[in-house]
């Protein structure tokens, strides 16, 4: 999950305006959240998903971020941490009792210690434990083509150049609890491996564009011209139930086109 370009640029400009001997940019934990909607109804085995990464900051590194789940009385609920696709999923050790719960976060303060706990989402637990994975039918279809776009030379500098534009099309997943309640908020992922051999790895996680039962996801990249990969589509719900399509799709990425001239230089 890349950081917004504007943040990277702001940090770079901040550093450039400071003397070289001044405070240095030190990596510090940063967090983004992928949580149930505030006020949503969730199953007793719901998971709370966060993405933790190292960001550039002039603030001295501190202790790692902390997360907790408290009930309506403010009592913390024991959680276990599950690593999945670069995310941390916080799951209750036992199915939660019916009621309201708040997922909270706190991080290192500017000085010693932590900030106060801050609520990130509040949910209502109701219904039965969700043990059924979503249904994912249909077939995956993918295309790739070169486009004349922008190549990033640094976090803040882009120049014209060739990019790969890749698009995946598939049938939207269905889940028994979606529509009847807000128990599940599905996240899709693409696994892949080189055609020449190697291990399957999760290449991307995303939420697709949907139209009826059809769904799609597209992205751009600058590298891997001419390489061939096998892809497999999967989907995961809020309770950690996952399913993969049984069929895979082989995609050969096109070769990078010959250099193209444009005003001011060439690619």
Domain membership of residue 38 (yes or no) is: yes
CA angle at residue 146 from 214 to 4, to 5 degrees? Answer: 75
> 136-185: per-residue pLDDT in tens?
989 999 999 999 998 887 766 888 999 999 999 999 998 876 444 545 68
Pair (159, 249) in one structural domain: yes
What is the predicted pLDDT for the residue at 208?
95
The answer to whether residue 230 scores a pLDDT higher than 90 is yes
Pair (106, 79) in one structural domain: yes
The answer to whether residue 265 scores a pLDDT higher than 50 is no
First vs last C-alpha separation in the chain: 27
Domain membership of residue 251 (yes or no) is: yes
Of 7-16, 55-64, 122-131, the least confident: 7-16
Pair (169, 67) in one structural domain: no
Residues composing the chain: 267
More confident residue, 32 or 259: 32
Residue 14 DSSP SS3: helix
Domain membership of residue 93 (yes or no) is: yes
Q: What's the pTM?
A: 0.82
> 56-113: per-residue pLDDT in tens?
655 456 788 999 999 999 999 999 999 999 999 999 999 999 999 999 999 888 777 8
Pair (108, 177) in one structural domain: no
Mean pLDDT score across all residues of the chain: 85
Domain membership of residue 238 (yes or no) is: yes
Pair (145, 256) in one structural domain: yes
Domain boundary among 94, 125, 156: 125
- CATH at 10: 2.60.40.1220
Pair (261, 146) in one structural domain: yes
Pair (81, 35) in one structural domain: yes
Q: Strand (E) positions, 180-266?
A: 187-194, 201-206, 209-211, 214-221, 228-236, 242-244, 249-252, 261-262, 265-266
- CATH at 166: 2.60.40.10
Pair (96, 153) in one structural domain: no
**How sure is the predictor about 200, in pLDDT bands with cuts at 50, 70 and 90?**
very high
How many structural domains does the chain have?
Answer: 2
Pair (78, 154) in one structural domain: no
Q: Residue 235 burial (CB < 10 Å; 0-12/13-18/19+)?
A: buried
What is the predicted pLDDT for the residue at 130?
93
Domain boundary among 125, 158, 188: 125
Q: State the Cα–Cα distance between residues 120 and 35, nearest whole angstrom.
A: 8
Domain membership of residue 33 (yes or no) is: yes
Count of CB atoms within 10 A of residue 156's CB? 15
What is the predicted pLDDT for the residue at 266?
45
Q: State the Cα–Cα distance between residues 168 and 251, nearest whole angstrom.
A: 10
Pair (119, 234) in one structural domain: no
Pair (100, 177) in one structural domain: no
pLDDT-above-70 percentage for the chain = 81
More confident residue, 181 or 252: 252
Mean pLDDT of 123-132: 94
Domain membership of residue 235 (yes or no) is: yes
Pair (111, 167) in one structural domain: no
More confident residue, 158 or 134: 134
Q: State the Cα–Cα distance between residues 77 and 43, nearest whole angstrom.
A: 15
Of 29-33, 61-65, 155-159, 205-209, the least confident: 155-159
Domain membership of residue 132 (yes or no) is: no
Domain membership of residue 136 (yes or no) is: no
What is the predicted pLDDT for the residue at 151?
86
What is the predicted pLDDT for the residue at 152?
81
The answer to whether residue 234 scores a pLDDT higher than 70 is yes
* 164 touches 255 (CB < 8 A): no
Could you list the residue range(s) of the whole structural domain that residue 250 is in? 141-266
């Amino acid at each position: 999950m890349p950081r917004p370009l504007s943040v990277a640029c702001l940090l770079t400009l901040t550093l450039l305006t400071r003397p070289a001997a001044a405070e240095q940019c030190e990596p510090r934990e940063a967090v983004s959240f992928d949580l149930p909607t505030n006020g949503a109804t969730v199953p007793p085995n719901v998971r709370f998903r966060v993405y933790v990464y190292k960001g550039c900051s002039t603030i001295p590194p501190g202790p790692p971020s902390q997360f907790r789940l408290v009930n309506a009385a403010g009592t913390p609920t024991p959680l276990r941490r599950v690593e999945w696709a670069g995310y941390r999923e916080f799951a209750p050790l036992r199915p939660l009792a019916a009621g309201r719960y708040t997922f909270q976060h706190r991080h290192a303060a500017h000085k010693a210690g932590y900030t106060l706990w801050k609520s990130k989402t509040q949910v209502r637990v109701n219904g039965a434990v969700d043990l059924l994975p979503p249904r994912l039918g249909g077939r995956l279809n993918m295309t790739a083509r070169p486009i004349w776009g922008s190549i990033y030379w640094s976090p803040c500098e882009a120049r014209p150049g060739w990019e790969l534009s890749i698009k995946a099309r598939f049938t939207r997943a269905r889940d028994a609890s979606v529509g009847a309640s807000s128990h599940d908020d599905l996240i899709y992922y693409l696994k892949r491996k080189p055609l020449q051999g190697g291990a399957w790895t999760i290449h991307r996680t995303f939420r697709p564009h949907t139209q009826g039962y059809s769904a799609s996801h597209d992205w751009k990249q600058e590298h891997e011209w001419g390489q061939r990969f096998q892809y497999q589509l999967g989907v995961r719900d809020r309770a950690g139930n996952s399913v993969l399509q049984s069929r895979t799709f082989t995609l050969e990425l096109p070769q990078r086109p010959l250099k193209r001239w444009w005003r001011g230089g060439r690619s």
